[in-house]
Every structure is written in structure tokens, then in C-alpha cells.
Amino acid sequence: MSDPTLPLLQIRDLRKRYGTTDVLRGISLDVHRGETVAVLGASGSGKSTMLRCVNHLERPDGGSVTLGGELVGFGQGRRGPRMLTESEIARQRSRTGMVFQHFNLFPHWTVLRNVVEAPVRVRGLDRTRAHELGMRLLTTVGLADRASSYPKQLSGGQQQRVSIARALAMDPELLLFDEPTSALDPANVGEVTSVMKRLADEGSTMIVVTHEIGFARAAASRVVMIADGLVVEDGPADRVLDAPRNPITRAFLENTRYGAGTATEPADQP
């Protein structure tokens, strides 16, 4: 096991460019076990790209991501660092659970199967154990009674709660949320944020990209502001939200307060 006094996640000077655009220009961020970090930032500032580098859905161009003492995407070869194979990356990725803006549930699978498919495939759980695990997780998100429904029979808020249960199914050390409520009807936001708040209270380690300032205030221990591929502010949630030091954070919070910053962002990249 890794050293419990070190941050669970260490992002160092993370860089990513698409073509000639520098999207991440040197992001550094530590997340300790049990912390909930809310990440704020305008559309296009690099928030999703950062999360996708943490679980290696994207390969960074520079810098490093270390999760529980393991360098993400790289292993120790006989002559120094080597790139991990796809199956090694998949194993490493299962240490994190990701919740997307658009739930990405499989429409032709039941809710229960959506939740337990990964542990069944990866850990070879038998039907009974998978059913137990799935029902326990669905109970956690308040949807045990919808286990045999199909995603399209559920509201957006319910589907997002299923995808939270799915993210929990591999017992991840770190949960990543990418605007989990941005695609929801306003009436559905609260049921999702209250599940997330409970996970935070129970000691889960989470990074939540969100425009829900109320959620950040209630559930986050820290708030990080990203602008133009850089962390421009990082501090205790109350301090950043009540007395932002960076003018970009100040302007962002002003806009959000008056509703201008709450607009839904463009869809996730597939």
C-alpha cells in the first residue's frame, strides 16, 4: 500500500496540447484522502482535459500524475520508466471512478447490469455476489426499486444516480465528477448533489468539476479555480467563495451568482 501521509493524487506541471493549442499549461494540484475538491472554471479552460489525464483517458504531453504512489500511465521498466500496456492502464483506471455530464449508461442493459458489469467482467463476480453488490450500491443512491428498469425509463437525475452507483462499483480510491448536474433539469439537480454530498461526508475522495456554487460551499473542502489551462486559485472552500483573491475567480463567481455562468457546457468529447 502507498504511504498514507502523502497526497492520494499528485498532479505536477501537467501539460496537454491539441494541435497548436495549449490546453493545460502546467497544472499542479494535490488531493489528500477524504478531501472533496470542487473545480471551477469557464467553458474551455481545460477542466475536462485535466480529469481525463488523471485517469489516462488522455495522454499528457508533459508533467505527471501520481495516484497512490503510482505514476499514471507509466511503470518501472528494466531501463527506466516505460509506458503501461492497455490492460495495465485499465487496471490503474479502475482505481478511479468517473461520472460524466451525460451519464453514458448502456441503453439496452438494466440499471442493475449497468452498475455491476465492470466488477463482473474484471473481478469475475458470480451472479449472486453481483446482485448483492448492485443492490447495495443502488440502495446507496436511493434506487433499489429501479434495479430492473432500463435507463430510458428513468429521469435524468435518476440516471445520473445510477452512473454514480456504477462509478462506486469497483470500490475506487478517487471519484471524478465532470459537471454531473449540467445536463439535468433544475428540478433533478438536488437529488444528485445530495448523493454526492453524502459521499463527501462519508469520507470519499472526490474531484468535482461543477458550476453549482451551493454544492461547492456545502460539500467541498477546497475550491480550485482553473483558467486558461492553469490553476489560478486554490484554497479552503469558504475562503475562495467568500473572498476570492484572483480577479478571474471574482469575475467567475459574480457571473455565476447572476446566472450567466450556469449555462450548460457543450457535450463531453466521446
Dihedral angle of Cα 45, 51, 56, 57, to the nearest 10 degrees: -70
Residue 43 contacts which entry, Mg ion, ligand ADP, none (Cβ below 5-8 A, type-dependent) = ligand ADP
- The grid coordinates of residue 46 equal 481545460
Where does this chain touch Mg ion (CB under 5 A) — which range of 45-53, 143-151, 165-173, 230-238? 45-53
Q: State yes or no: residue 65 binds ligand ADP (CB under 6 A).
A: no
Q: How far is the CB of 22 from ligand ADP (least distance, A)?
A: 9
Where does this chain touch ligand ADP (CB under 6 A) — which range of 41-49, 80-88, 136-144, 160-168? 41-49
Residue type for position 190 = G
SS3 call for 243: coil
- The grid coordinates of residue 118 equal 465492470
Question: Using N-to-C axis directions, what is the helix angle for 127-140 and 156-168, rounded to 10°?
Answer: 130
Interface pick for ligand ADP out of 49, 94, 160, 182 (rule CB under 6 A)? 49
Q: State yes or no: residue 55 binds ligand ADP (CB under 6 A).
A: no
Q: State yes or no: residue 193 binds Mg ion (CB under 5 A).
A: no
Q: State yes or no: residue 173 binds ligand ADP (CB under 6 A).
A: no
Q: How far apart are CA 170 and CA 118, in angstroms?
A: 7
Residue 49 contacts which entry, ligand ADP, Mg ion, none (Cβ below 5-8 A, type-dependent) = ligand ADP
Where does this chain touch Mg ion (CB under 5 A) — which range of 1-9, 41-49, 143-151, 226-234? 41-49
Q: Which of 88, 11, 17 is nearest to 51 (CA)?
A: 11
Q: Which of 157, 161, 162 is nearest to 106 (CA)?
A: 162
Q: State yes or no: residue 205 binds Mg ion (CB under 5 A).
A: no
Q: State yes or no: residue 88 binds ligand ADP (CB under 6 A).
A: no
Site for ligand ADP in 2-21 (CB under 6 A): 18
Interface pick for ligand ADP out of 7, 8, 37, 47 (rule CB under 6 A)? 47
Q: Which helix (H) or strand (E) holds 102?
A: none
Q: Do 38 and 220 form a contact (C-beta atoms < 8 A)?
A: yes
Of 211 and 222, the one with the shorter C-beta distance to ligand ADP is: 211
Q: State yes or no: residue 48 binds Mg ion (CB under 5 A).
A: yes
Q: How do beta strands 62-67 and 70-71 pair?
A: antiparallel
Q: State yes or no: residue 264 binds ligand ADP (CB under 6 A).
A: no
Q: Do 162 and 97 form a contact (C-beta atoms < 8 A)?
A: no
- Binding residues for Mg ion, rule CB under 5 A, total 1
Interface pick for ligand ADP out of 43, 76, 139, 264 (rule CB under 6 A)? 43
Burial of 109 per CB tally in 10 Å (0-12, 13-18, 19+): middle
Query: Which residues here bind ligand ADP, judged by CB under 6 A?
Result: 18, 23, 41, 43-49, 265, 269
